[in-house]
Amino acid sequence: MTKPLVITIHGLLRTRYSMSYLGSKLRQRGFEVLNYGYPSRRYPLQAQAERLDEFISARVEKTRPLNF
């Protein structure tokens, strides 16, 4: 059985490391965690969405349920 998948995404002006604690706690509770980091002020929203889509597409099967 596959573990439920959670993708963590930090907020503006933060880094992927700000989600480390949450990711650790989720793993302890049986989730698989992917921690997505992005340069929050470098690209416009549309470009950020495209980069997130590429991140997910490269790592997750299309039929697998996602949690954020």
| pLDDT tens column, 29-64 | 999 999 999 998 899 999 999 999 999 999 999 999
Chain position carrying tokens 């470098």: 42
Give pLDDT, residue 2. 86
- 19, with CB counted inside 10 A (0-12, 13-18, 19+), is buried
Q: Quick check: helix, strand or coil at residue 63?
A: coil
Dist CA 17 CA 36 (whole Å)? 10
Percent helix, strand and coil across the chain, each to the nearest 5: 40, 15, 45
Q: pTM for the whole thing?
A: 0.85
